[in-house]
Amino acid sequence: MTALLNMDQLLDQLESGLREQMTRRGIESPTLIGIRTGGVWIADALKKRLGLTEPFGELDISFYRDDFSRIGLNPRVKPSHLPFETEGRDIVLVDDVIMSGRTIRAAMNEIFDYGRPASIILATLIDLGNRELPIQPDVVAQVLTLKETQRVKLRGPDPLHIEMRETE
Amino acid sequence: MSDQQTTVRIIHGRLLDGEHDGSAVTTLLLQGGHIAAVGADAEIGDVDRVIDASGCLVAPGFIDLNCNLREPGNGQKGNIASESLAAARGGYTTVCASPDTSPVNDSSAVTNLIRDVAGRQSPIRILPLGAVTRGLEGELLSDMAGLTRAGCVALSNGGAQLRNARILRRCMAYARTFDLTLMLAPVNQALAADGYAHDGLVTSRLGLLGIPEVAETTAVMELLLLAEETGVRLHLNQLSCARSVEMVADAQRRGVAVSADVAMHQLLFTEDALAGFDSRFHVRPPLRTEADRQGLLAGVRDGVIGAIVSQHQPHDSAAKQAPLGATEPGLSTIESVLSMGLELVADGELTLSQLVVALTSGPAAVLGETASLAVGQRADLCVFDADASWQAGDDSLLSAGKHAPIRHCPLKGVVRHTLCAGVEAWGPGGD
Amino acid sequence: MTANDPSSQSLQLTGNGQLKHFLTLDGLDRALLTEILDTADSFIEVGERTIKKVPLLRGKTVVNLFFESSTRTRSTFELAAKRLSADVLNLDISTSATSKGESLSDTLLNLEAMASDMFVVRHSQSGAPHFIAESVTPGVAIINAGDGRHAHPTQAMLDMLTIRQHKGAFEGLKVAIVGDILHSRVARSQIRALNALGAEEVRVIAPGTLLPADVESLGCKVEYDMVRGMQDLDVVIMLRLQKERMEGALLPSEREFYRLYGLSQDKLALARPGCLVMHPGPINRGVEIESAVADGPQSVILNQVTNGIAVRMAVMSMAMSGQVSERTQVAGEQG
């Protein structure tokens, strides 16, 4: 299974999928926003691969999570950093792993508080299924089905690699 | 219930007073409200009742020079019936009732009322203290002689702050005329101002309004000089500063007729008790530093401070349920004094003898009385188990005031019997 | 022997050290104060967006309980709560309940019926928020918005945020607080915060009548002479002088106070270059501070509003978070 998760191949997949989407939608200068922490690393990699010069944005969705009433605030919250106007832009929202879809819901709410983008493309490295909200990525490098006991986590930033482990 | 003619034999108890150190098991015989025999003589003859004091200490009943019974008053904070029963439970057989009631005890009518209610409802002896000035306002002399004739044993300022040295001097000169004792709590009003905590580390950190040490020490010095000049018999209530003890000791050495007391909680707690804004420890005078506590303890050990008082101040819960500075001062202590004292004994800060003297013969002397286990003494006795424990809580306390200094934690010292003139004031009844 | 009651530390922290009330800075360590400042930084970024609001406290009710009126402080708390999407109720108790003779305990009983999640308390009695925190039903967070002479922790933390923005860190900083320390809840909280965050030296500069007993025990040095006290300073905090201080014989006159303890350009020149000038406001020009200094380049008096809102958002969300985690020990992860 680990053999399937070669980082370069995954990023190749993601890049080509994204280029295809952009071509189809006629997007020439997208703006990248990565969701902390893993999404930021992927966004950084994509920025280089796509040859974009504009800095990418970093989103900390801690203030937008829907489980505050259950688990409270993330004590290590950092400011979100979007060094550009989002109003009217074509945004590529990047995250490492998608599962329930709640993080993406929170991220989109946050992005809209900065302004109204023209469009959002969702690119995720890995899709673990088990969706709880009607949110689907536009581009995915790898779909995985994990057993109950398995966990997957992106480690980085250098080298960027996927860690699979069994829980006890 | 038994009456004063009953004969009572107390067996297997260990006697504790100024003469007995609580080590020897001895029998006591009570007859006609007095101690009739001690030791072998007490073991002869039939009696109406036998009290088995196995494992217990037998001491003279405790005497409190400063207790608030809250009657007359509106009853919410307690009354003579509730607080005298609490006192009996605490081992007391005599308490002096502070004059700061509502109305103030500044007339023989109020004194008579207190004596009348006490006579009917109190299981122990209540000795009223008269107000030294009318309404305790510090301006006009009260009818000191009239109050004394009605039954007041001394004249007191009831903890009110002292404002005017000229009036104090006249109070003393007048009291001296009739050979009366003045019991005054030394507080300089201008210096104490609106304070409610010792002006020091804790007030500084918590932003509380402080009462500086000099609010007491300047008043002590003033009172000592005035007493020395007028020749009045002066008793200083509730010292809180080590410095005050030194000044009193010095005056005693010079032959000034001055005695002093300290509240039991001053010997256990310091300003730190307020660290969590605990309004129970809002007391006047305020709890001061560890050095002051040590000075007060030394005063008790040396006999400079002759009496430990309860300074019992019961309150309804609303009076204590507010931010610290908005609460009323005072602790509900009368049921806990013995346990607090035993705590000091356990910590080696007082001996058992020093403790019992400060609770019995010491205060008795201030009242011109004696208290001991000698033949012929009034049969005012306290039989307590120093090793048994109890807990203070809303349900267990008899006083209307539930703000005891140590709550919900085991306290050593349970009073099994309190006998007032041979009659059971507290205890399980005939056994 | 000490009293067997909870200290403020156990009162305002959960079992695992999270904030659940914010009553005082006493007992809060450097890590926690830093977390407050870091979280506030994130909220400053929120304040720069088109929509300055996050959904964190949606559905929660925050009651501003002001027993002492203060439009300025109450407004920043109100704005902070609204930017966290909470519902806000402003109760100006100073003019309603207490004047009818209602006790604080009774007022609280009535308020609990409203199912509030947080009380922001301003009271003239030191310790009033402690009392309220001990009295209310569990789950309600209490935030101290200034109590008597005791503490004003959010004001102190916003000052710390301002200092950190300008100086980067607290190490090596020499900070002086000038004026009426005795009556100042702000000063007490600032001294505590500066010590906890690692400032090199905290000095108080005032005449003896405006200093509390044993003031050094708070963690500061005392300097009576302002000219000497200004040496090597990185930050000087001027406190507001209330007019009534002349009445109780604490000070002879405003003029004399200004001459001795007012911050003039001459005195500021004695400090390190770039010394920050702060004032919790509102300023008495010509009493504590010369106008030219208050309006000068080293003064950060005006840009404190943004920080004030951010710090209050941080503290409110952290305390609410602590209440949440104390109630539920559920650890969930979002995918």
Residue A148 included in any domain: yes
Of the pLDDT bands very low, low, confident and very high (cuts 50, 70, 90), residue B3 is low
Q: How many domains does chain A have?
A: 1
Distance CA(A125)–CA(B357), nearest Å, equals 85
pLDDT above 90 as % of chain C: 73
Amino acid in the structure at residue C249 = A
Side chain identity at C129, as an amino acid letter? P
Per-residue pLDDT reduced to its tens digit, A90-132: 999 999 999 999 999 999 999 999 999 999 999 999 999 999 9
Q: Is B1 a residue whose pLDDT tops 90?
A: no
- Per-residue pLDDT of C209-236, as tens digits, reads 999 999 999 999 999 999 999 999 999 9
Residue C39 contacts A where some CB pair is shorter than 8 Å: yes
For residue C297, say whether it is annotated as part of any ligand binding site.
no
Q: Give the range among B26-30, B44-48, B149-153, C66-70 with minimum mean pLDDT.
A: C66-70
User: Hey, of A36, A60, A63, A150, which one would you mutate to test binding to chain C, going by the most C CBs within 10 A of its CB?
Assistant: A63
C54/A63 Cβ within 8 A: yes
pLDDT value, residue B157: 94
Least confident window among A30-39, B3-12, B112-121, B165-174: B3-12
**What mean pLDDT is predicted for residues A1-23?**
85
Mutation to test the C interface, candidates B196, B202, B204, B406, most C Cβ within 10 Å = B204
- Quote ipTM for the complex: 0.91
- Reported as a pLDDT band with limits 50, 70 and 90, residue A43 is very high
The answer to whether residue A37 sits within a structural domain is: yes
Domain boundaries defined on chain B: 61-366
- Mutation pick from B191, B198, B201, B206 vs chain C, by most beta carbons of C within 10 Å, is B206
Cβ separation of C150 and B321 shorter than 8 Å? no
**pLDDT value at B430 more than 50:** no
| Residues in chain A within 8 Å Cβ distance of C38 | 76-78
Q: Which residues of A touch C18 (CB under 8 A)?
A: 72, 75
Q: Give the pLDDT confidence of C250-262 residue by residue, as tens digits.
A: 999 999 999 999 9
Q: Describe the crossing of helices B352-359 and B337-346 by its angle, rounded to 10 degrees.
A: 150
Mean pLDDT of chain B: 96
User: Is C74 flagged in the annotation as binding?
Assistant: no
Residue of A nearest to C36 (CA): A75
Q: What amino acid occupies position B239?
A: L
Contact C226, C206 (CB under 8 A): no
Predicted confidence at residue A4, as pLDDT, reads: 54
Across B205-212, average pLDDT: 96
Whether residue B280 and residue C3 make contact (CB cut-off 8 A), yes or no, is yes
**Is pLDDT above 90 for A167?**
no
Confidence tier at C2 by pLDDT (50, 70, 90): very low
Chains B and A touch (3+ CB pairs under 8 A): no
Provide residues of C within 8 Å CB-CB of chain B: 1-8, 11, 26, 103-105, 123, 125-128, 130-131, 135, 147-151, 185, 188, 212-215, 217-218
Domain annotation for chain C: domains and CATH numbers: 8-151+306-324 (3.40.50.1370), 153-302 (3.40.50.1370)
- Has residue C103 got a pLDDT over 80? no
Within a domain: A72: no
Distance of alpha carbon B222 from alpha carbon B129, whole angstroms: 22
Q: Which CATH number fits domain B61-366: 3.20.20.140, 3.40.50.10540, 3.20.20.70, 3.40.50.300?
A: 3.20.20.140
Cβ–Cβ < 8 Å for C98, C69: no
| C128-186 tens-digit pLDDT | 999 999 988 888 999 999 999 999 999 999 999 999 999 999 999 999 999 999 999 99
Q: What is the pLDDT of residue B286?
A: 98
Q: What is the CATH number of the domain that holds A47?
A: 3.40.50.2020
Give chain C positions within 8 Å (CB) of B291.
Answer: none
Q: C211: distance to nearest CA of chain A, Å?
A: 37
B36 vs C121: CA distance, rounded Å: 66
Which residue among C3, C104, C105 sits closest to B273, beta carbon to beta carbon?
C3
Run of H or E including C326: helix C304-327
Interface present between C and A (3 or more CB pairs within 8 Å): yes
Q: Chain A contact for C70, CB < 8 A?
A: no
Closest CB to A68: pick one of C35, C49, C56. Answer: C56
Under an 8 A CB cutoff, do C335 and A62 touch? Answer: no
**Contact with chain A for residue C165, Cβ under 8 A:** no
- Interface membership of C317 toward A (CB under 8 Å): yes
- pLDDT of residue B162 exceeding 90, the answer is no
Q: How near does any CA of chain A get to the CA of C160, in Å?
A: 18
Give the Cα separation of B172 and B222 in Å (integer).
Answer: 12
Weakest-pLDDT range from B167-171, B172-176, B209-213, B425-429: B425-429
Cα–Cα distance for residue pair B324/B326, rounded to 1 Å: 5
User: C156: number of CA atoms within 13 Å, CB side?
Assistant: 29
CB-based contact C254:C237 (threshold 8 Å): no
Q: Can you give the pLDDT at residue A99? A: 95
**CA of A116 vs chain C CAs: smallest distance (Å):** 10
Domain containing A91: what range?
Answer: 2-65+79-166
pLDDT of amino acid C96: 56
Are C214 and B279 an interchain contact pair (Cβ–Cβ within 8 Å)? no
* Minimum Cα–Cα distance from A124: chain C residue: C335
Residue C306 pLDDT greater than 70, yes or no: yes
Nearest to C43 by CA among C199, C187, C171, C157: C157
Q: Under DSSP, is residue B43 helix (H, G, I), strand (E, B) or coil?
A: helix
In angstroms, the CA C291 to CA C270 distance is 18
| Mean pLDDT in residue range B372-383 | 97
Confidence of residue C246 (pLDDT cuts 50, 70, 90): confident
Q: Do B203 and C218 touch (CB under 8 A)?
A: no
Determine, yes or no, domain membership for A23. Answer: yes
Confidence at residue C331, expressed as pLDDT on a 0 to 100 scale: 41
Cα gap A95→A34, rounded to integer Å: 6
Q: Write phi, then psi, for C72 (nearest 5 degrees).
A: -65, -55
Question: Residue A73 falls within a domain, yes or no?
Answer: no
Q: Any chain C CB within 8 A of the CB of B290?
A: no
Look at phi and psi of residue B424 and say left if phi exceeds 0, alpha if psi is from -120 to 50, else beta.
Answer: beta
Out of B323, B405, B407, closest to residue C104 by CB: B323
CB pairs under 8 A between B and C: 106
Sign of the dihedral through C-alpha B250, B251, B255, B257:
negative
Task: Write out B132-199 in H/E/C secondary structure.
Answer: CEHHHCCCCECCHHHHHHHCCCEEECCCCCECCHHHHHHHHHHHHHCCCEEEECCCEHHHHCCCCEEC
